[in-house]
Amino acid sequence: MTSFKEGAPETAKQAATAAAPVATAAVPDATARANAAGRLNLAEILEIFAGGRLPLRFTAYDGSSAGPPDAPLGLELKSPRGTTYLATGRGDLGLGRAYIAGDLEVHGVHPGDPYELLKALTESLEFKLPSPKVMVEVLRSIGLEHLRPIAPPPEEAPPRWRRVAAGLRHSKSRDAEAIHHHYDVSNTFYEWVLGPSMTYTCACYPRPDASLDEAQENKYRLVFEKLRLKRGDQLLDVGCGWGGMVRYAARHGVRAIGVTLSREQSTWAQQAIVDEGLADLAEVRYGDYRDITESGFDAVSSIGLLEHIGVRNYASYFTFLQSRLRPGGLLLNHCITRPDNKHEASTRGFIDRYVFPDGEITGSGRIITEAQDVGLEVLHEENLRLHYAMTLRDWCANLVAHWDEAVAEVGLPTAKIWGLYMAGSRLAFETNGIQLHQVLAVRPDDRGGNGDLPLRPWWTP
How far is CA 38 from its chain centroid?
Answer: 43
pLDDT, tens digit, for every residue of 90-121?
Answer: 889 999 999 999 999 999 999 999 999 999 99
Contact 285, 263 (CB under 8 A): no
Alpha-carbon span 69 to 74, nearest angstrom: 10
Identify the structural domains of the chain with CATH numbers, from first to last: 8-146 (no CATH), 173-442 (3.40.50.150)
The 10 Å CB-count burial string (b at 16+, else e) for 338-356 is bbeeeeebbbbbbbbbbbb
Residue 415 — very low, low, confident or very high, per pLDDT cuts 50/70/90? very high
Q: How far is it, in rounded angstroms, from Cα 110 to Cα 237?
A: 36
333: Cα separation from own chain's centroid: 17
Return d(Cα 118, Cα 101) in angstroms, integer.
Answer: 18
Distance CA 240, CA 384 (A): 19
Give per-residue pLDDT as tens, 6-32.
Answer: 443 333 333 333 323 333 344 555 555
At 237, the pLDDT band (50, 70, 90 cuts) reads very high
Whether 288 shows a pLDDT value over 90: the answer reads: yes
Find the radius of gyration of the CA atoms of the chain.
24
pTM, whole model, 2 decimals?
A: 0.89
- Poorest-confidence range of 34-48, 157-171, 333-347, 417-431? 157-171
User: Which residues lie closer than 8 Å to 456 by C-beta, 6 or more apart?
Assistant: none
What is the secondary structure of 87-108 as a DSSP string? Answer: HHS-THHHHHHHHHHTSEEEES
Mean pLDDT of 337-363: 88
Q: What percent of the chain has pLDDT over 90?
A: 77
Tabulate helix, strand, coil % of the chain (nearest 5): 45, 15, 40
What pLDDT was estimated at residue 19?
29
Beta strands in 304-365 (DSSP E): 325-337
The pLDDT value given to residue 24: 36
Mean pLDDT of the chain: 89
Cα dihedral 362, 365, 371, 374 sign: negative
